[in-house]
A and B are shown apart, each in its own frame.
Chain A
Amino acid sequence: MSTVTREDVEALVLSSLEELGAEADALSPTATFEDLDVDSLDLAELSQIVEEKYAVKLQGEDVAKLRTVEDAVNLIVERAAQ
């Protein structure tokens, strides 16, 4: 997991959110999921993508606390380092 960089994670999260329907122009690290119209099912699917890519399992309660893209990136980077 030491090869996972913050830049990689951020790129994966942003591209995944776009694939899930978020407006590309609105995507940024500080954008909130509410503003992006990203809902709980989208976040559950993002968790699956992250798990497939980095073998990092995000639980429902972890995901429920996330507000911004940056929150998600921070959590994934933290978990990948464990």
Chain B
Amino acid sequence: MTGASGAIGSATARALAADGWPVVVHYGGNVEKAGAVVASIEEAGGRAVAIGADLADPSAPEQLLADAVAALGPVRVLVNNAGITRDNLALQISDEDWQTVIDVDLSAAFRLLRAALSPMIRGRYGRIVNVSSIIALKNNPGQANYAAAKAGLLGLTRSVASEVARRNVTVNAVAPGFIESEMTDGLLEDLVGHIPARRAGQPEEVAAAIRFLASPEASYVTGSTLVVDGGLGA
């Protein structure tokens, strides 16, 4: 579970642990938060380990996966949740801010997926869930880099899903709308009026969707995007 120290990531890590999965709580920089997530999973009787990795580094995903296998055994479920934003109008996005967002939000997800697929295919079982965003489907000025990365995740999801479906490996995406998290701090008040549900989503509501797609019960769902947005994109 990448980006597992954030709001959606930590809620999902706890939900997967509640289903009995041992969980690798990946974090980019916030070791304290990751440690707190591990502690809360262990308190609830689950098993988890925190592993740090800078996913902007192209060699990090493969190492993260190797560390995960060493810590908890074969990876049967991969949730690509790590994401960053570097918001600006397209006119003012620097090459660096474009590339960093693409590297972390899209390329790292691909590299992790590529490394995880091999044992999943050999084991005839796997669940990959890519956490995209409603921004991949709807306009949002000031997020061209983030929108491109998140839309890229949806294309990646559909394409790989069709490649590996006959090996009992599913690849799906969730597209959260506006969820209460560190990424939407201070933004939600003005937006709530546009959401048919008239409220922001809770991280646990996204976690529930991921939990389903990661479960054995979702065996005939692949290449799909589950939108969790209170009706915003309807």
Interface residues of A (CB under 8 A from B): 41, 44-45, 48-49
Contact A48 B122 (CB under 8 A): yes
Cβ-Cβ contact count across A and B, 8 Å cutoff: 12
Contact A41 B122 (CB under 8 A): no
Nearest chain-A residue to B165 (Cβ)?
A: A41
| CB neighbours of A49 from chain B (8 A) | 122
Contact A45 B122 (CB under 8 A): yes
Q: Dominant SS at the A interface?
A: helix
Q: Dominant SS at the B interface?
A: helix
Q: Indicate if B163 sits at the interface (CB-CB under 8 A).
A: yes
Contact A41 B118 (CB under 8 A): no
Nearest chain-B residue to A21 (Cβ)?
A: B166
| CB neighbours of B122 from chain A (8 A) | 45, 48-49
Q: Indicate if B192 sits at the interface (CB-CB under 8 A).
A: no
Q: Indicate if B121 sits at the interface (CB-CB under 8 A).
A: yes
Count of residues in B whose CB is under 8 Å from the partner chain: 7
**Shortest CB–CB separation between residue A36 and chain B, in angstroms?**
16
- Interface pairs A-B: 4 shortest CB-CB: A48-B118, A45-B121, A48-B122, A41-B163
**Shortest CB–CB separation between residue B163 and chain A, in angstroms?**
6
Bound CA–CA A41/B160 (angstroms): 11
Nearest chain-B residue to A40 (Cβ)?
A: B163
Nearest chain-B residue to A39 (Cβ)?
A: B166
Q: Indicate if B148 sits at the interface (CB-CB under 8 A).
A: no
| CB neighbours of A48 from chain B (8 A) | 118, 121-122
**Shortest CB–CB separation between residue A57 and chain B, in angstroms?**
12
| CB neighbours of B118 from chain A (8 A) | 48
| CB neighbours of B167 from chain A (8 A) | 41
**Shortest CB–CB separation between residue A54 and chain B, in angstroms?**
16
Nearest chain-A residue to B117 (Cβ)?
A: A44
Bound CA–CA A49/B121 (angstroms): 11
Bound CA–CA A48/B115 (angstroms): 12
Q: Indicate if B164 sits at the interface (CB-CB under 8 A).
A: yes
| CB neighbours of B164 from chain A (8 A) | 41
**Shortest CB–CB separation between residue B66 and chain A, in angstroms?**
15
**Shortest CB–CB separation between residue A55 and chain B, in angstroms?**
15
